[in-house]
Amino acid sequence: MRATTLRFKEPLLSFRVVDPAQPSDRRLLEVALEAAAAGAQVLREQFRSASLSVHAKGRNDLVSSADHAAEAAVARVIRGHFPDAVFLGEESGRSGGRRDGLEWIVDPLDGTNNFLQGLPIFCTSVACCRRDEPVAGVVHEPLTGTVYSAVRGGGAWRHESGNGAGERLQVTARTGLDGAFLATGFPFRAHAALDLYLAAFREVFLEARAVRRCGAAALDLAHTAAGIYDGFFEFRLSPWDLAAGVLLIEEAGGRVSDLDGGRDYFAGGNVVAGGEGVWQQLRRAVNRHADEARLHAVDPAGGVVA
């Protein structure tokens, strides 16, 4: 797999100084771009293939041979650069022994159900966290070739296929829920939380202009960073759904939090995101029906993988 080279229209912002013995955040982004491209190529080749094998991880929770092949492709690239890297993948779990505070968090195929049904809404998500904070992240849409990327302190960018010069991302400036175009996802692994979710959804739905559910949280977060959506909320996601998208939104000037306004979204899997005005009103609307304590009371496990 040849390394992906992207050009940027503007100079990148300054990067944080890290231990000279560790790779820079910029270097981590370069590897994330290459790894995501490798995973995306596998998905592009196997989309609507008759040779896919599929099995159930749980009720209505499917995994395919494409998920496994894409994750293996991503891991090969990362381990080619960092052989002992700590790697958390949706399909393979956590592995690796590197003790430098870095962890790669990967969803090789976000939107598996869409992929298996032939619905062309899915992506590969790759992020690297330094001491539990995302510092480099990529969301790659295999069919369009669109790549969303961010590095801590360097902004968030979108690169369209065939156009190496990136476009700087900015969340929308909408001031509240009135007229907002939002995205969400259903808590399909956490049925015990459904009543809380539906109560929150009802209030949000009645205030916003429209709410979409496309079935790929990493892509929803990227689209929020890009200003396509004004905001996003979902319950009981996993770290690989969130890591790259959280960084994209923050670097695009947005806000991301758990239901209580804190930063424990990796622990609980509950997230509210958007531009400042929408995030404020969306979080309050959701929190009136579902805060972290109430959600934990009805669904302690939450389907979140530690």
CA–CA distances in Å: residue 50 to residues 53, 54, 67, 165, 293: 9, 11, 15, 36, 45
Cβ neighbours for 1, distance < 8 A, ≥ 6 positions apart? 34, 37, 38, 41, 73, 77
The DSSP H or E segment spanning 181 is: strand 181-184
Backbone angles phi, psi at 163, to 5 degrees: -130, 100
The DSSP H or E segment spanning 140 is: strand 133-140
Q: Are 161 and 44 in contact (CB under 8 A)?
A: no
Q: Which of 113, 93, 286 is nearest to 216 (CA)?
A: 113
Cα separation, 111 vs 133, whole angstroms = 24
User: Looking at this protein, which amino acid is placed at residue 246?
Assistant: V
The pLDDT score that the predictor gives to residue 252 is 98
CA–CA distances in Å: residue 97 to residues 30, 68, 71, 177, 192: 22, 21, 18, 45, 36
The pTM of this model reads 0.91
What tokens were used for 60? 């209505």
Q: Which residues pair with 130 in a beta bridge?
A: 102, 133
Q: Are 215 and 114 in contact (CB under 8 A)?
A: yes
Task: Tell me whether residue 126 is exposed, middle or buried, using C-beta atoms within 10 angstroms of its C-beta: 0 to 12, 13 to 18, 19 or more.
Answer: buried
**What is the domain partition of the chain in residue ranges?**
23-168, 181-298
Residues of the chain with pLDDT under 70: 1-21, 98-99, 162-165, 301-306
The pLDDT score that the predictor gives to residue 92 is 87
* Residue range 23-168, CATH number: 3.30.540.10
Fold for domain 181-298?
D-Maltodextrin-Binding Protein; domain 2 (3.40.190)
